Structure 1
Amino acid sequence: MATVRLKRIEHDLEGLKSFTNPDVRLEQYQTPARFAAELLHYIDITDGIAGKTVLDLGCGCGILGFGCVRLAAAKVVGVDIDDSALSIAIENKEDVGLDDDTIFFLNNDVINIEKSDFSHSDMVIMNPPFGTKKQPKVDEKFVVKALELADIVYSVHKSSTRHHWGTIAEQWKEKLGWNIKVQTCIAGQRFTIPRMYKFHKKQEQEVLVDLMRFCHQ
């Protein structure tokens, strides 16, 4: 039954429109439908998505948010700085026949949003920028902002940074007074990126990524 459900979610997500002109400065890559379905299924059986209010920070074209709706989230809010990506997300919303009571999108810099911008949020589910030379440590900034907004955060990161997050959590404890539990939920998943930018030499690039869970204790 779980396999059938995964296939249905993957099928629904495959039909969504993706970036037409991705911005390398924002590290824009579409989350593969299969990967999105698998991580959302894991989150659903672990913490439950049904009936929850979910934030997707750096939502791009909205694939994770639409997956949450498919899993019966009560409300989903996607936030992204790129208005062209949000235009595609809105097209996707119209194509699948959803309204603003279920999912809506906010055009803003994730780093600038505040908890007061939302009436309530149960969890954040996101695939943030990985933090390359163009945006050093932006992945850490996304996680910090997410933990300001919700008690539970699920986030996708390069597997190569896995052991670094424990050190960062210790820094948060000293600087912010946060006691954060960090878990690697899905390790070493292959994230396939099609050839999108001029510097890509292959038709497909593969990056190993982890689904991490951050939780206030």
Structure 2
Amino acid sequence: MGKRALERRLSAVSDFADPQVELEQYPTPADLAAHLVHLADVNHDIAEKTVFDLGTGTGMLALGAATRDPERVVGIDRDAGAIEQARDNERRVGPETPVGWFVGDAMRAPFCPSKSGSRSADSVDSADAAESPAPAPSVTVLMNPPFGAQTGNEHADRAFLETTAGIADVSYSIHNEGSVDFVEAFAEDFDGEVTHAFRAELPLSRRFEFQRRRRKVLDAEVFRIEWR
């Protein structure tokens, strides 16, 4: 399935029924999601991998990844209503790989395996010490985190990146315009490297009372990071 076909398929994903401004709940457009998933696919970052969509919302990126033969896909969001919509969207899209949906704080990672599925020494008892465990699939994170523009939610994108640095081998994330210096410096501090960066547009319809325009286009930037 090509990128345009994936975009058409993802156009069935519904928007937030009751968006929460404090969570900066804006949808990921189907065309951008299809482009991001296609880029991850051609870089061999989805097939046979474990994919996490942190702050999944109504499931756009998770569902896109689930059409690309991953080992498994997990979508996590703190909004239970959004997760219910994501489950409904899964029925609409019908991806080949089922998605595991969880209500939880994506800025913390008790739900995640350690990077590359490694196990601590304490988790290997004498019974299996003589036989090395099979390596788990590598982890890819796809996410459109909140930009941290709302009072009380400042630096939310940084918190999402901190979680990602601890669990991912590679990540794709969408950030506010002008984030290049921040993302590159963050990646360097956490032993990562930005390998791809490109501009994107997020068309946003009016959804909150403080917004005056019926529609605006938000400039954004997308980054691929390899974590070591």
- TM-score of the alignment, normalized to the shorter chain, above 0.5: yes
Q: Paired residue for 2:131?
A: none
Q: Are the structure 2 counterparts of residues 85 and 211 from structure 1 closer, same or farther at C-alpha, using a change threshold of 3 Å?
A: same
TM-score when normalising by structure 1: 0.86
Q: Hey, which of these two has a bigger chunk of helix by percent?
A: 1
Distance 1:169 1:36 in 2: 22
Per the normalisation by structure 2, the TM-score is 0.83
Of 208, 211, 215, which aligns to 1:200? 211
Q: Corresponding residue for 2:45? A: 48
Number of residues paired by the alignment?
A: 206
1:197 and 1:143, CA in 2 relative to 1: closer, same or farther beyond 3 A?
A: same
Residues 67-146 of structure 1 mapped to structure 2, 5 A cutoff: 67-97=64-94, 102-114=98-110, 115-116=112-113, 122-134=139-151, 135-146=153-164
Give deviations 1:144-185, integer Å, cap 9, x for gaps.
101111121111111211122233334x3xxxxx31112343
Instruction: Say whether 1:162 aligns with 2:162.
Output: no
Unaligned runs of 5+ in 2: 118-135
* 1:199 alignment partner AA: F
Q: Is the 8 A contact 2:74 2:99 kept in 1?
A: yes
Provide the C-alpha distance between the structure 1 equivalents of 2:91 and 2:102, rounded to a whole number of angstroms.
16
Structure 1: 5+ residue runs without aligned partners? 173-177
Contact 2:45 2:170 in 1 (8 A): no
What is the root-mean-square deviation of aligned Cα atoms in Å? 2.1
Q: Which moved more, 1:190-199 or 1:52-61?
A: 190-199
Tell me the CA shift for residue 198 of structure 1: 1.1
- Which deviations, in whole Å up to 9, do the C-alpha atoms of 1:86-141 show, x marking residues without a partner? 01011112334469x72111100112322349965521011100111421111010
**Aligned 8 A contact 1:184 1:210 in 2:** no
Identity of paired residues, percent? 30
89-98 or 106-115, which deviates more: 89-98
Q: Do the aligned residues in 1 keep the contact of 2:196 with 2:225 (CA within 8 Å)? A: no
Instruction: Work out whether residues 77 and 106 of structure 2, in 8 Å CA contact, stay in contact via their aligned partners in 1.
Output: yes
Q: Deviations over 1:46-98 (max 9, x none)?
A: 23322221000000000101111122223110000000000101111233446
